[in-house]
Structure 1
Amino acid sequence: MKLSIRTKLLSFIPIMIVVVLLITGISYSFAKGEIEEQIEERLAGQAGETAGNMERELAEHQRIGETLAEIIGEEGTELAEADYAALQERLVQLNEATFGIGVWFEPFAYEEDTEYFGPYSYEDGEAVVYTDEYSTAEYDYPSHDWYTAGVDAGGASWTTPYYDEALDTVLVTTSIPFYGPGDTLAGVISADMDAAQIQQMAENLEVGENGWAFLMDETGTFLAHRDAATLAEDPVLEGISGNFETNGTTLASFADGDAVVSYNTLDQNGWTLGLVLPEAEVYAGVNALLRNVAIIAGILVLLTAAAMFVLAGRITKPIRALNEEVKHVADGDLTRHIQVHTKDETGELTESFNTMVTSLRELVGSVRQSVHTSADAVSQLSAVSEETMASSEEISRAIQDVADGATNAAGSAEQSSQRTSELSDQLTALAAITASLNKQAREVEETNKAGSEQTSQLQGKAEQTDGMIGRVEDVVQELSERMGEISSIVGTIASISEQTNLLALNASIEAARAGEHGRGFAVVADEVRKLAEETSRATGHIRSSMEEIQEKTSTASSEMANARKLSTEQYEITEKTVTSFDEIASRNEQMNLLVAQMNEGINSITKNKEEVVSSIENIAAVVEESAAASEEVSASAEEQLNALRTIAYSAEDLQSSSEHLKKQIERFRS
């Protein structure tokens, strides 16, 4: 399928759209990745900071229990119940997160007659309430999980949330064992936190605009959640909690949409603090960026497409005009001329085309003039050849007559010795024959002179033809040189295209180095590179056309060489013809001399008949020699006639070649 340059240029528009969309997608992907990384880092930082704050609060809460464990371990059995109440009240008020504190002695460890002793104080509004209702066998605190956890751990231990019926509160307890003399277990200190307070701590955390926090213990039980009603379970978080490490970030799908979850594990008790931020909020900036980039890309595509339409029109319009003019020139119209309106490569190409047409017009004019001159010369040569050939035929016939006459004279001379009586009549007849022979000899001389002159003219015409052919060869050579100059110009254009291609490639590399700021320039550089490649291909087509023209010029030069060869052969044949005429003239002079001698003999015989016989014998010998010479002259004349026929044939061939060249030249209108 044939595609125009305009179509090829405009075909870059969908490519540009794809590139813009690709760049937009890559930019969006990079921006999304950067924002995701920033959000994750921000969430991780916030989670780490919040976890640190929470750990400090939990550590303060745990430290109260540990402090009380140290005090009770040293003085526990010496303190009265009132002392415990006062001490616990002060400790509860030290930390807002602490809901209650209890001292739980091992059975019979406080007093030998007291099995259960567990003083406990807790907050009730602004007041701290002391109670000993847990010091009963029914409650049996040593059997509770929080107690056994502290005993088993040998240090601080945190429980999962549990419901306390007496307080009607969900608690989280820190259990710390204390020891008496000999490091024997004396009991457990419990420092309780209200689960509602822990929930409040999570709710007070600000996670973006719509985010929320959760707190999960090491068993997967929620201590804090955005929905207090679902505190017991959350299928989504429970499903991903198994993959939780010490800290990190992951994705989760909730009922209200996907979200980014960043979590940290508290070193204090193994709890997991998590921050949840909806993806809609995470990618709000990215989506806004995508809209802006899409709008800018759309505007850029429209502007670039419009610019390419205009540019394609400006590029292809002069090329189409040049193409139309080239078609006219190809049809032989050398009167064409294009106005140059630009100073770019197209303008230079147009100027080169005008120069080429002018050179061709001058060349064709010179060749046409040479062809006309050569045709006239060939016509004259043909006419002269025909006339010379006719004259040579007459000369040949005359020489043959001379030979026949000489033969007859020899026979008469032989009979004269026997017919002396008839000598007078025979001498009279011989005088007449001699007069006729003398006349014919003069005619032969005149004809030979005319033939020699015409042959000289033919030789001159052959020299003129050779000169004309030489001039035609010079013109063809000049045309070949002009074609070489045009090929050089086309090579320069191809070199400029290659340099433009290299510059565009360098610009693309520099644009790539410039990063985001160079992307638009990279697209333009890529378009310039592709235009340079199209220009290179176009110069290749022009170069191919020039090579075809040079091929034709070489063919014309070869034909001129053949014509020159024929002209040289014609000139050589003409020289041989001149030589033949010179030989004929020499033989004719000999024959004239013989005729003169014959006349002298006849006159002498007439005056002295007694010497007739002797003279006749001499005449017979001379006549025999004359006959032999006449035969030689006849043979030379025949050779001259054959040479003239060859010249005539060559002249006809040259005339045919001239007519063919004339028809070829007449195709061009100048």
Structure 2
Amino acid sequence: MKWTNKGNNMKTESDKKGINVDVKSLYSSSVNGLKGIKLENPSKSVGLMLFLIIFSAILICVLVVGLFSYSTSKSIIKDKISQSSSVAITQSKGKLDLMFGNYVDLTMQIMLDKNVQSELLTLESTTDSYEKFSSMKKLSDILQTYVIGNSTIVGATIIPIKSGDPSVSVGGSTISSDAAQKSDWMKTIVDGGGKISWLPSKAKGYSGTMSEPTIALGRVLKNTVTNQGNYVLVLEIYLKQVGKQLQDLSLGQNSEVTIINSDNTIIYSKDFSKLGKPSDIVLPADADKQVHGSTQTKDSQGQQVLAMYDKFDSMNWRLLGSVPVKELVRDAAKIRDLTWIIAGIAAVIAIGIGILVIRMVALPLIQLRNLMNEGERGNLYVRSKVGKKDEIGQLSQSFNQMMTQITALVTQTNQSAQDVLTTAGELTDASKKTAVSAKEIAVATEEIANGATSLAMEAEKGSDLTTEISEQMKEVMQANHQMGSSAAEVEKASRQGTVYMNSLIEKTGLTEEMTRSMVEKVDRLKESTRSIRKILDVLNNMTKQTNILSLNATIEAARAGAAGKGFMVVADEIRKLADQSRQSIDVVGQITETIQREIDETVNVLSNAYPIFQEQIGSVKEANQIFLTVQSQMGDFVQRLNSVTDSISALDRSQLVLSDAMANVSAVAEESSATSQEVASLSNEQTNISEGLVKLSDKLETVSMGLKETLSRFRTE
């Protein structure tokens, strides 16, 4: 099928033998159809949205189905392989249980052998070296009969638990009793009593001299009569025998089969370097409670692995098989790859379908949108040429009919706007003339009203002023009376002040005389302290002379020898009295100095106070003179206040007459102002009506002009 675009008409050419879709020609024709079409915002395009919906739906369906199939097949493969591998693990575990059971039975036969019991009893009871050697030789021969001919067994060893006797070994196992008694595995066997204890693998065997790893089992050899055991039997087995039992077990490519103990330590692995190391596979926590099971986990490298495990019957070991999940689902990955290929093909098909939808839906809609944009810009003669019979064609015909109706409506509206514009101009002129006249009348009326209002206000101010003057005159008269009373009181107080000042002058004179007398007495006391000072100097010299005399007396007494001892005591007492006198004189001297210093300070204070008393006397005399002056001036002030009171009374009577006249003027001015304001209000109302009419006319003219400009955008021819 080929789609061609000739003048926006879609034509189909089909072949009767089949329908072939040429995607390249379809794409090129779509591109040619898009030329010349303006895409303002592709993200909001209906065609693009339909294309994305179709593309996403097809691609999502293919991916969901394919990936679901891949996931389901992968899950089924894992379940089937897990079941088959579990069966194989169980079968291999059964073979190993049989082999391990044979070894357990062999140790039981050795323990129950009468000859072994007899020789062990001999070793315990005898102290003779030869008998011990003979018993050990017999035990070695007996063990040889059990071990010889079995190539899977390295050897067997009987080890004493406590005594210092050497161990009895046969085969390749030569475990010394001293090394064994110090080892942990020996303690494990002894703690187990008569039960079997399986020992982990060792790279060089339990003797430490082997060239390949071995495992071992041991048990205490108890006496069948006394049930006491003093010896341990250790049976050492080649680890490769376990590998022979597992060589036919294969779980898949890169799979691994190991034997681990309860501590998750590797007992057996094809790679002997892993022996004794922790296993990469960590079993779930409840694995100890399960005999067998399977789980999906991660190894030490973080890869997903499928692990199957089964517990042995004779020991707490597990046979563990693991295989990487990616190896299991390697074949299922083909489904995933095929899904991506089909998704790519579906994407190409979806693109083709999307381009077809764009040509059939988006391009005609874009053409109609562009025509509508032309109509929005004022081009009313645009018409759609889409001749299709579907909904888009019907939309195109409806658009043409709408544009025809809009063209007729715009033509009629343009003519009406022209008529309205003419009428609005005439109405505006008449309104403006009326408004001018109303404004002139309003201005004249407002001037009259303003004059009357000003006159009324001035009259009110005058009336208020006279009232205020009257109140102030009353206050002045009251203040005048108060001033007269205050002046009389001041005159009386000045008389009393004069009397007090005379008394103060007399008392100040007496104080001056007392101060002068005190200064003289202090001067005499100062001279007395100087005399005391001189007497103290004389006494101090006497004490010094007394000290010298006592010293000389002491020297003379020392020369006199025994006869002068009494005089020496007297001389010492005199010297002590002289020292005490000197100390007392020093104390009295300090006290005297203190008294003299305070007397000097008192003299200075009195000397400074005396001029102040003299100044105070002068100030008191001046204050007395001021009181006398105030008394005389207050008499004159009282007389003047009486004269002012008479003048204020006459002024108050004149003010009452002026207040009545201002009240009459204010009443007349208020009546005139009220009449003028009423006339001005009517004029303002008329002016407002005229201005509103002018505004309405201007608004009508503006609307008409705007309508005319709007209609001028549309082209109808």
Asked whether the two chains share a fold, i.e. TM above 0.5, the reply is no
Query: Which TM-score applies when normalising by structure 2?
Result: 0.39
Greater Rg by CA: 2
Query: Which TM-score applies when normalising by structure 1?
Result: 0.41
